[in-house]
Amino acid sequence: HRDLTGIGKLARHEILYLLSEAEQWVALNRTSAKHTDLLAGLTIINAFFENSTRTLLSFEIAGKRLGADVVNMHAATSSVKKGETLIDTAITLNAMRADAIVIRHGSSGATGLIADKVDCPVLNAGDGQHEHPTQALLDALTLRHALAERGEGAEDFTGLNVVICGDILHSRVARSNILCLTAMGAKVRVCAPPALMPAGIEAMGVEVHHRFDDALDGAEVVMMLRLQSERMSGQFIPSPREYRHLYGLTAKRLAIARPDALVMHPGPMNRGVEIDSEVADLAGRSLITRQVEMGVAIRMACLDVLTRETRGVEGWA
């Protein structure tokens, strides 16, 4: 079976295929019916070992809109709390004959480990500091729509200047987005305090900055990330007030970027720390709620494409 464990495992044409497949679901989700029976009879298990609002709900909505039976397993109320291992949990889910398993886990590589143990496709809903592939795909779909509305639509992002600023070290969103955006031709700058920048990240084809004002100069897209305090292990980082001063996206700072620069944030946001409300809610420029809308369509596309083998339908392009 084919899994979705990371953008790093996808070819460029497969990224573009998933984005184009999502368009039909964007259109369906904007109708009043919002439903098809494409995946009727299939069982999808969402196994979340870490908290989530957007990813869990959108995978659940995506599966239900495609007509599948969707079951959610929350680690906090599962036998994980009684000491059951990740592998034993995976074997248990497999024995229930799930047709797809969606996993969020705090350990990098956990999704790949489970994918090797089960008979159905596994979709990574975020694993530690490794990857969050559906986030990168929904971000790409959001950008495509926003650029198309401005008459700058193209299949890929050749030459587009994107800044990703925040806790790059701990961010699976940053990693998946770097892989996705560079595969689609964008020029990516990353910006973080030195303690929150992974060593050797230049090898991913990005430009490294520690001064946000420098990184913003000429930017067409500004993607902000929160500080992941739950993953910190003694790194020296500024206080929230200092952080906002140095790395927060304020209206004044956004003015350094291109005049029509687009603002993105995967959520959850810490308003007044990495992003000011004035910017997060900026009509016509902030894509944050659009990102959430696109999340449902992308997850519908991923569930459809990855279960095609089970359904005996022609698979990837």
Enumerate the known binding-site residues for L-aspartate: 82, 172, 226
| 201 neighbors 177 (Cβ within 8 angstroms) | no
Distance set, CA 22 to CA 57, 95, 101, 299, 317 (Å): 17, 30, 20, 8, 14
Distance set, CA 146 to CA 61, 87, 141, 142, 246 (Å): 23, 41, 9, 6, 28
- For the chain, what's the residue count? 317
Residue closer to ligand CP, measured from CB, 56 or 160: 56
Query: Whole-angstrom Cα distance, residue 128 to residue 107?
Result: 4
Residue closer to ligand CP, measured from CB, 52 or 92: 52
Q: Residue 133, interface with ligand CP (CB under 6 A)?
A: no
Q: Which of 24, 52, 228, 250 binds ligand CP (CB under 6 A)?
A: 52
**Minimum CB distance to ligand CP, residue 133 (Å):** 11
Q: Residue 177, interface with ligand CP (CB under 6 A)?
A: no
Q: Residue 268, interface with ligand CP (CB under 6 A)?
A: yes
Q: Residue 126, interface with ligand CP (CB under 6 A)?
A: yes
Q: Looking only at residues 248 through 267 of this chain, which bind ligand CP when binding is defined by CB under 6 A?
A: 266-267
| 163 neighbors 122 (Cβ within 8 angstroms) | no
Query: Whole-angstrom Cα distance, residue 63 to residue 44?
Result: 7
Q: Residue 54, interface with ligand CP (CB under 6 A)?
A: yes
Residue closer to ligand CP, measured from CB, 54 or 231: 54
**Minimum CB distance to ligand CP, residue 19 (Å):** 18
Query: Whole-angstrom Cα distance, residue 118 to residue 101?
Result: 9
Q: Residue 106, interface with ligand CP (CB under 6 A)?
A: no
Task: Tell me, letter by letter, the H, E, C secondary structure of 137-192.
Answer: HHHHHHHHHHHHHCCCCCCCCCCCEEEEECCCCCCHHHHHHHHHHHHCCCEEEEEC
User: How does DSSP assign 16-54, residue by residue?
Assistant: HHHHHHHHHHHHHHTSS-----TTTT-EEEEEESS--SH
Q: How many CB atoms lie within 10 A of CB 8?
A: 15
Site string for ligand CP, 277-316 (x = CB under 6 A): ----------------------------------------
Residue closer to ligand CP, measured from CB, 205 or 267: 267
**Minimum CB distance to ligand CP, residue 6 (Å):** 15
Q: How many CB atoms lie within 10 A of CB 104?
A: 25
Q: Supply 180's token pair.
A: 């996705």
**Minimum CB distance to ligand CP, residue 259 (Å):** 28
Q: Residue 128, interface with ligand CP (CB under 6 A)?
A: no
Q: Residue 55, interface with ligand CP (CB under 6 A)?
A: yes
DSSP type of residue 202: G
Pick the stretch among 35-43, 46-54, 89-97, 216-224 that binds ligand CP (CB under 6 A).
Answer: 46-54
Pick the stretch among 9-17, 21-29, 52-60, 241-249 that binds ligand CP (CB under 6 A).
Answer: 52-60
Q: Residue 135, interface with ligand CP (CB under 6 A)?
A: yes
Contacting positions for ligand CP (CB under 6 A): 52-55, 126, 135, 266-268
